[in-house]
Amino acid sequence: MKIAFACDPLSGFKIYKDSTYAMMAEAASRGHELYVFGHGDLIFNGKDVLANVSHVALTGKTDAWHVQHAPVLQPLTEFDVVIERTDPPFNMEYIYATYLLELAELHGARVLNRPEAIRSHNEKLAITHFPQFIAPTLVTSDEARIRAFHEQHKDIILKPLDGMGGAGIFRVGNEGLNLGAIIETMTHHGLRTIMVQRYIPEIAQGDRRVLLINGEVVPYSLARIPQAGEVRGNLAAGGLGVAMAVTPREREIGEALGPILQKRGLMLVGLDVIGHYLTEINVTSPTCFQEITQQTGFNVAKMFIDAIEK
- Bridge partners (DSSP) listed for residue 197: 137, 157
Position 275, amino acid:
G
**According to DSSP H, which parts of the chain are helical?**
19-29, 92-106, 115-120, 143-153, 179-187, 248-263, 289-296, 300-309
For 93, phi and psi rounded to 5 degrees?
Answer: -65, -40
Q: Catalytic residue positions?
A: 124, 159, 209, 224, 232, 272, 280, 282
User: Which amino acid would we find at residue 252?
Assistant: E
Helix then strand then coil, in percent of the chain rounded to 5, is 35, 30, 35
Q: Exposed e or buried b for every residue in 51-79, given b needs 16+ CB within 10 A?
A: bebbbbebeeeeeeebeeeebeebbbeeb
